Amino acid sequence: MSELKTFNHPMFGDLPVIIVNEKEYLGANEVASSLEYARPYKAISDHFDLEGVLTQDVLTKGGIQKKKFITLGNVSR
């Protein structure tokens, strides 16, 4: 399970961030929503490079849940 942190970006707002193998990953749904995709969950597979998509278990208020994260490179594609 990865430790979830929050990064405040001036354009995207608060984004969940994890670090895996010294690489930063941002919450995929939050990034897609900030980019105003109508269906953020679908935008992940349609518009992001899947090699840069990672699914991790994170602790949320509802318990441990699976969450998708993307690399910083995927944000600027």
Structure confidence at residue 1 (pLDDT): 66
Task: Please compute the mean of the pLDDT values over residues 31-45 and round it to a whole number.
Answer: 91
Structure confidence at residue 74 (pLDDT): 84
Q: Flag whether pLDDT at 76 surpasses 80.
A: no
Q: Flag whether pLDDT at 4 surpasses 90.
A: no
Tokens representing 59 are 């602790």
Q: What is the pTM of this model?
A: 0.85
Matching residue, tokens 């995709």: 37
Domain count, the chain: 1
pLDDT confidence band for 12 (50 / 70 / 90): confident
Structure confidence at residue 40 (pLDDT): 92
For residue 62, the enclosing domain spans: 5-75
Structure confidence at residue 77 (pLDDT): 63
Tokens representing 51 are 């090699």
Q: Which residues are CB-contacts of 66 (< 8 A; sequence separation ≥ 6)?
A: 55, 56, 57, 58
Q: Which residues are CB-contacts of 27 (< 8 A; sequence separation ≥ 6)?
A: 15, 16, 17, 67, 68, 69
